[in-house]
Amino acid sequence: MELYSFDTSISRHPIVEPRIGEDEVNEDKIDQSAFSDSDSSDPVLPSQFNRPAEGDTCTLADGLTRGSCRRDTNCLSLKTIPQKDWKTCSLDKNSSIVCCIDTKPDGVQDVRGGFRYKSDQMCASFPEMPATGNHILNGIEADLEDFPYLGALALLDNYTSTVSYRCGANLISDRFMLTAAHCLFGKQAIHVRMGTLSLTDNPDEDAPVIIGVERVFFHRNYTRRPITRNDIALIKLNRTVVEDFLIPVCLYTEQNDPLPTVPLTIAGWGGNDSASLMSSSLMKASVTTYERDECNSLLAKKIVRLSNDQLCALGRSEFNDGLRNDTCVGDSGGPLELSIGRRKYIVGLTSTGIVCGNEFPSIYTRISQFIDWIESIVWP
C-alpha cells in the first residue's frame, strides 16, 4: 500500500506537484508580515579502563574528524557516516560509547555544555517517546503512540470559505509546530487536531485535542514557482501544550543526510491512490533517502534538480510490483522521521514531487538547513 493521494479536481504545477491539493491563488494574498543524559554511573568493563569514557574528546577512524564520546543511542552522526568509519570509545553494560561528530558546519566547537544547537539542548529535555514497533515495509495504519507530535492542520480556503484538513504539522516545542509553507499559501490556519488518529470524531478514540493558531511564520525566501524552494513555515499555537501524551519531536541538526541504508518513516492522512480523498486514519510507511547524485539523475528526466534545502526519499519496491511507499497530495507538512532509541528526529517535511509511488523520489524540505531560522523564532 502506498502512502499517497491526488486530488484530481485541483490544478497543480505541470511538472512538480506539491503534496497538498492547491487552488490557483493570487500571489498578493500572502501576508508579507508573516515572513520574517545519560547515567555515567554504569560500571565500565575491566578492559575499558584506559579507553575514552563518555564525554571525553575523540577522533573518528579517519584520524581527522573530531568528536566527543557519546552513547550510540544519542549520536545522530552514526546515521550519516559509513560503518567502517565508526570508532568505539568504550563499552558499558547497556550500549556502546562511540565517537560522535560534535562540530557545527563552520567548524565551531560546542558552546552550550556539549550541545551544538539550542535545538539539541531542548531535544535532550523532551520526554522520551513511547516504545514502538519495528519499521514497516508497506503503508499501514499508525498507532496512536507512533507520532505523539503530529497533528492535522485545519485550513480555511480564502476563496471557497471552506475548512478542511489538508496537511500535517509537527510539534517541536510546547508552543510551536513545523509544517510546509505551501500548505498555508492562500489559506488561513485555523487549528491543529492532535492526540487522535482520525480526522473525524471516533467513539473508539479519546476526544481530540484542538489547539488554535495564533500566528504563522513563513520563511522569507519561500518561493512557489518556477519550483518550490524553502518550503517551511512555523505555526505559533494560541496556548502552551500541557498534555503529557503530546511530545515534541527533535530537530535533525546533522548537515549530512541519513545514509540510504537507514530506514526512515513517513506519515500522513493522504489517500492511497491517485483518485482517493484524504484517508480517514493516519497512515505510516518506511522509506530511505537517495544519494543526491542518484536523486538528481532520476529527477533530471523531468527537468528537476534538488537544491541545498531539499533531500529526496522513496520506499524501495519490496515485492518488485512497481509500487513504492511514498507521500503524495494530502501528506504535505508531515514528517520524514528518524528514530534513534527512544528519540525521534524530524529529518524532512513532505514538500513536493513528480508522480507519487513510482520511480521518482519525493522531495522533502531539509530541516538541517533551517536550524538557525527555526531557533531564532522558537528559542530566541
Measured in whole angstroms, the distance separating CA 170 from the mean position of its chain's CA atoms is: 8
d(CA 114, CA 356): 41
Active site residues: 182, 231, 332
The residue behind cell 486530488 is 7
Residue the block writes with cell 508497506: 138
Neighbours of 33 (CB within 10 A): 10
Q: Calculate the alpha carbon distances from 229 to 63, 180, 364 in Å.
A: 37, 11, 10
Q: What is the enclosing helix (H) or strand (E) of 346?
A: strand 343-353
Chain position carrying cell 523531468: 302
CA 338 – CA 232 distance, rounded (Å)? 19
Alpha-carbon gap, residue 81 to 210, rounded angstroms = 40
φ/ψ of residue 302, rounded to 5? -115, 20
Burial class (CB in 10 A: 0-12, 13-18, 19+), 366: buried
Q: Strands 310-314 and 66-71: what pairing?
A: unpaired
The helix or strand, by DSSP H or E, that contains position 121, with its residue range, turns out to be: helix 118-125
The phi-psi region of residue 310 (left if phi > 0; otherwise alpha if psi is between -120 and 50; otherwise beta) is beta
H/E stretch holding 299 = helix 292-299
The alpha carbon torsion through 131, 132, 133, 136 (nearest 10 deg) reads -150
Looking at the DSSP bridge assignments, the partners of residue 88 are 98
